[in-house]
Homo-oligomer: A and B are copies of this chain.
Amino acid sequence: MRRLQVKSSAGEYQVIVGRGAWRALRQLKGYTSSFVLTEPGLWTKWGEKFSTDVGWKEVRPILIPSGESSKSLTMAGRVASELLDRGADRKSFLVALGGGVVGDLGGFVASTYMRGIDYAQAPTTVLAQVDSSIGGKTAVNIHAMKNLVGTFCAPHMVVSDADVLASLAPRAFQSGLYEAVKHSILSGPALFKWMEGNVVGLQASDTAVLEQLVARAAAVKVDVVTRDEREAALRRVLNLGHTYGHALEEATGYRRFLHGEAVAWGMLMVTRLAELAGVLDPAVGKRIVNLVRAVGPLPELRGIKEERVLGLLIRDKKAVGGKIHWVLPEAIGKVRVTPDVPEAIVTTAFREVQRGVWNG
A contact set with B: CB distance below 8 Å: 9, 32, 73-74, 76-77, 80-81, 84-85, 87, 89-91, 111-116, 137-139, 142-145, 148-152, 318-322
Majority SS at the chain A contact face: mixed
Cα distance, A73 to B81, chains bound together (Å): 12
Check if A142 sits within 8 Å of B319, measured CB to CB: no
A81's partner among B81, B112, B143 (CB-CB below 8 A) is: B143
Cα distance, A319 to B88, chains bound together (Å): 7
The distance from the CB of A64 to the nearest CB of chain B, in whole angstroms, is 15
Cα distance, A18 to B162, chains bound together (Å): 60
Cα distance, A142 to B88, chains bound together (Å): 14
The distance from the CB of A332 to the nearest CB of chain B, in whole angstroms, is 31
Check if A149 sits within 8 Å of B76, measured CB to CB: yes
Give the 4 A-B CB pairs with smallest separation, nearest first: A73-B73, A112-B149, A73-B77, A115-B150
Check if B318 sits within 8 Å of A85, measured CB to CB: no
A112 nearest CB neighbor, chain B only? B149
Give 9 new A-B contacts, CB below 8 A, not counting A73-B76, A89-B321.
A73-B77, A77-B149, A84-B142, A84-B145, A87-B318, A90-B321, A112-B151, A115-B137, A116-B152
Contacts of A85 in B (CB 8 A): 144
Cα distance, A84 to B320, chains bound together (Å): 12
A84 nearest CB neighbor, chain B only? B144
The distance from the CB of A161 to the nearest CB of chain B, in whole angstroms, is 28
